[in-house]
Amino acid sequence: MLSPSSRLREYEVWGRIGGGGMSDVYLARHVDLCAPVVVKTLKLSVDSDATERVQRLRTEAIITSRIRSPRVVRPLDVGITDEGTPYLVQDYVDGLDLAEFDAARRKALGVGLPLWYVCEVIAEIASGLAAAHRTGVLHRDLKPSNLFVSPEEGVQLGDFGVAVARGSAEGTPLELAGTLEYMAPETLRTGVFHRRTDVYGLGATAFQLRYGRPPYTTMRDVLDASVSPAFPKPESPEEAFFQQAVAHMLDQEPERRWSDMGRVRRTFRQLADLLRPPLHATREGDAIHVMGVHVTARVGDLAKATTEGAVCSANSEFLMDVGVGASLVKAGGQGIEDEARAGGARPLGACISTSAGALPFRRVLHAVAAWSEVSCVARAAQRALLMAETEGLRSLSIPAIGTGAARVSLESSAASLAASLELHLHLGGSRFTHLDFVLFDEDKRRTFAEVLESVFLGSRDAADVGLVDSGAMNDESSTVVRK
The confidence score (pLDDT) of residue 164 equals 87
Contacts of residue 483, Cβ cutoff 8 Å, sequence gap at least 6:
none
pLDDT (average), residues 319-328 = 95
pLDDT (average), residues 237-248 = 97
Note whether 185 and 222 are within 8 A (CB): yes
Q: Is 376 exposed, middle or buried (0-12, 13-18, 19+ CB in 10 A)?
A: buried
Report the mean per-residue pLDDT for the chain.
90
The identity of residue 108, as a single letter, is A
Q: What phi, psi does 350 have (nearest 5°)? A: -75, 160
Sign of the C-alpha dihedral, residues 450, 35, 370, 158?
Answer: positive
**CATH 3.40.220.10 domain locations along the chain:** 281-457
**CATH 1.10.510.10 domain locations along the chain:** 96-275
Question: Is the pLDDT confidence value at 41 over 70?
Answer: yes
What's the rounded Cα separation, in Å, for the pair 357 and 328?
9
Question: Is the pLDDT confidence value at 95 over 90?
Answer: yes
Q: Percent of the chain having pLDDT more than 90?
A: 70
- pLDDT tens-digit map of 441-483: 999 999 999 999 999 998 555 556 677 776 655 655 544 444 4
> Quick one: which of 367, 278, 358, 293 has its CA closest to 324?
367
Contacts of residue 426, Cβ cutoff 8 Å, sequence gap at least 6:
277, 279, 291
The confidence score (pLDDT) of residue 223 equals 84
Question: Is the pLDDT confidence value at 91 over 50?
Answer: yes
The confidence score (pLDDT) of residue 474 equals 60
Question: Is the pLDDT confidence value at 48 over 80?
Answer: no
- Of 3.40.309.10, 3.50.50.60, 3.20.20.140, 1.10.510.10, the CATH number of 96-275 is 1.10.510.10
- pLDDT tens-digit map of 431-441: 999 999 999 99
The confidence score (pLDDT) of residue 483 equals 43
86-91 and 75-80 as β-strands: parallel, antiparallel, unpaired? antiparallel
pLDDT (average), residues 412-434 = 97
The confidence score (pLDDT) of residue 339 equals 98
What's the rounded Cα separation, in Å, for the pair 191 and 5?
43
> Quick one: which of 94, 70, 68, 90 has its CA closest to 78?
90
Question: Cα separations (Å) of 21 from 24, 26, 86, 393?
Answer: 8, 15, 15, 37
Question: Cα separations (Å) of 324 from 32, 292, 438?
Answer: 29, 29, 10
> Quick one: which of 155, 129, 122, 140 has its CA closest to 242?
122
Length of the chain measured in residues: 483
Is residue 418 very low, low, confident or very high in pLDDT (cuts 50, 70, 90)?
Answer: very high
- pLDDT tens-digit map of 361-382: 999 999 999 998 889 999 999 9
What's the rounded Cα separation, in Å, for the pair 13 and 36?
10
The confidence score (pLDDT) of residue 176 equals 63
- Domain boundaries 7-91, CATH class: alpha beta
Question: Is the pLDDT confidence value at 128 over 90?
Answer: yes
The confidence score (pLDDT) of residue 462 equals 52
- pLDDT tens-digit map of 26-35: 999 999 988 8
Protein fold of 281-457: Leucine Aminopeptidase, subunit E; domain 1 (3.40.220)
The confidence score (pLDDT) of residue 222 equals 82
Between these two residues, 473 and 239, which has the higher pLDDT value?
A: 239
The confidence score (pLDDT) of residue 97 equals 96
Question: Cα separations (Å) of 450 from 410, 456, 459?
Answer: 12, 10, 14
Q: Could you write out the three-class secondary structure of the chain?
A: CCCCCCEECCEEEEEEEEECCCEEEEEEEECCCCCEEEEEEECCCCCCCHHHHHHHHHHHHHHHHCCCCCCECCEEEEEECCCCCEEEEEECCCCEEHHHHHHHHHHHHCCCCCHHHHHHHHHHHHHHHHHHHHCCEECCCCCHHHEEEECCCEEEECCCCCCEEHHHHCCCECCCCCCHHHCCHHHHHHCECCHHHHHHHHHHHHHHHHHCCCCCCCHHHHHCCCCCCCCCCCCCHHHHHHHHHHHHHCCCCHHHCCCCHHHHHHHHHHHHHHHCCCCCEEEECCEEEECCEEEEEEECCHHHCCCCEEEEEECCCCCCCCHHHHHHHHHHCCHHHHHHHCCCCCCCCCEEEEECCCCCCCEEEEEECEECCEECHHHHHHHHHHHHHHCCCCEEEECCCCCCCCCCCHHHHHHHHHHHHHHHHHCCCCCCCEEEEEECCHHHHHHHHHHHHHHHHCCCCCCCCCCCCHHHHHCCCCCCCCC
- pLDDT tens-digit map of 140-198: 999 999 999 999 999 999 988 888 886 555 555 556 667 889 999 988 888 888 899 99
**CATH 3.30.200.20 domain locations along the chain:** 7-91
- pLDDT tens-digit map of 199-220: 999 999 999 999 999 999 888 8
